[in-house]
Structure 1
Amino acid sequence: MTSVGLLVPLIAKPSQTEAITDFLHTGYTLVPSEPLTREWFAVKYEDSNPPTYAIFDTFAAEEGRQAHLTGQIAKALMDNASSLLDVSPEIAQLDVLVGLVRPNKGSGEGTTAGVTKGLRVLFTAKPDKVDAVRDFLKSAIPLVEAEPGTTYWYAVEFPGTNTFGVVDFFPDDAGRGAHVAGKVAAALFGSADELLTGAPDLVKLDVIAAKV
Structure 2
Amino acid sequence: MPSSEVSLALFVPLIAKTDRVDDVAGFLGKGYELVQAEPDTIQWFGAKYDDHTPPTFLILDTFRAEEGRGAHLTGKVAEALLANADALLAAGPEIAKAVVLANNVRDTSAGVKNGLRVLLEAKPETVEAVREFLTGALPLVEDEPETLVWYALEFPGTNRFAIVDFFADDAGRTAHLNGEVAEALFANADMLLATPPDVKKISVVAANVKV
Deviations 1:118-173, CA, capped at 9 Å, x for gaps: 00101111111111111111111110011111000000000000111100000000
Equivalent of 1:183, from 180, 183, 202?
180
Q: What runs of 5+ residues in structure 2 fail to find an aligned partner?
A: none
CA distance in 2: counterparts of 1:148 and 1:4, whole angstroms: 24
Per the alignment, residue 116 of structure 1 pairs with 113
Q: Deviations over 1:30-54 (max 9, x none)?
A: 0122110010000000111111011
Task: For residues 85-117 of structure 1, give each alpha carbon's deviation from its aligned partner in whole angstroms, at most 9, with x where no partner exists.
Answer: 11120001100001000014x43xxxxxx1100
**Deviation readout 1:50-105 (Å, 9 max, x if unpaired):** 1101100000011111100000000000011111011120001100001000014x
3-state SS in 2 of match to 1:15? coil
Say if 2:153 is the partner of 1:156. yes
Structure 1 unaligned segments of length 5 or more: list them: 108-113
TM-score, normalised to structure 2, is 0.95
Matches within 5 A, 1:73-152: 73-104=77-108, 106-107=109-110, 114-152=111-149
- Cα distance in structure 2, aligned partners of 1:127 and 1:12: 32
Number of residue pairs aligned between Structure 1 and Structure 2 = 205
- Structure 1 moving runs of 4+ over 2 Å: none
Q: Say whether residues 1:37 and 2:41 are aligned partners.
A: yes
Secondary structure in 2 aligned to 1:33? coil
Given candidates 138, 152, 169, the residue that maps to 1:172 is 169
Give the SS at the match of 2:203.
strand
Give percent identity, aligned residues only: 57
- The answer to whether residue 206 in structure 2 is matched with residue 202 in structure 1 is no
Who is 1:72 aligned against?
76
Name the SS for the 1:7 alignment partner.
strand
1:31 and 1:124 map into 2 onto residues whose CA distance is 31
CA RMSD of aligned residues (A): 0.8
Out of 12, 16, 25, the position equivalent to 2:16 is 12
